Amino acid sequence: MSYSVIVFDTAPTGHTLRLLSFPSVLEKAFEKFTALKSKFGGIFAQVSGMVQPATEEKLLGKLEQAKATIELINEQFKNPECTTFVCVCIPEFLSLFETERLVQEVS
């Protein structure tokens, strides 16, 4: 990308962990969709052909583009050369506890 630094100012730990797991969740969803398409591809093609011709190809093309982008983002999140996590919290027990939980998850 054309940026040298991107900052995500995120919500507390649970929301941050969900955000960080989002690429993996989407990858699993794409895998399931691909498996369903290969299993029921004929039916899917017939139904989409009745509704609007070439819709299946457009949809699959967009899904493949999205999957490639998601895989790139996931690789960058996991690469310590590209991504650094800096945790900031208020000095209270619960905040420190949650921040430690986040540090353990991203390490």
Count of alpha carbons within 13 angstroms of residue 43, beta-carbon side: 5
55 is written with which tokens?
């819709």
Contact of 17 with 102, CB cutoff 8 Å: yes
Asked whether the CA dihedral 96, 12, 75, 23 is positive or negative, the reply is positive
Identify whether 6 is part of a domain. no
Average pLDDT score over residue span 74-92: 83
Q: Which residue has the higher pLDDT, 4 or 59?
A: 4
With cut-offs at 50, 70 and 90, classify the pLDDT of residue 53.
low
Question: DSSP assignment of 33-92, as one string?
Answer: HHHHHHHHHHHHHHHHHHHSTTHHHHHHHHHHHHHHHHHHHHHHHH-TTT--------SS
pLDDT of residue 55: 65
Average pLDDT score over residue span 57-86: 80
Identify whether 5 is part of a domain. no
What is the domain count for the chain? 1
Tell me the range of 2-16, 29-43, 65-79, 84-98 where mean pLDDT is highest. 84-98
Q: Is 84 helix (H, G, I), strand (E, B) or coil?
A: coil
pTM of the entire predicted model: 0.54
Average pLDDT score over residue span 26-40: 79
pLDDT of residue 54: 59
Identify whether 91 is part of a domain. yes
Identify whether 81 is part of a domain. yes
Identify whether 27 is part of a domain. yes
Range of the domain at 69: 13-106
Identify whether 95 is part of a domain. yes
Identify whether 3 is part of a domain. no
Identify whether 67 is part of a domain. yes
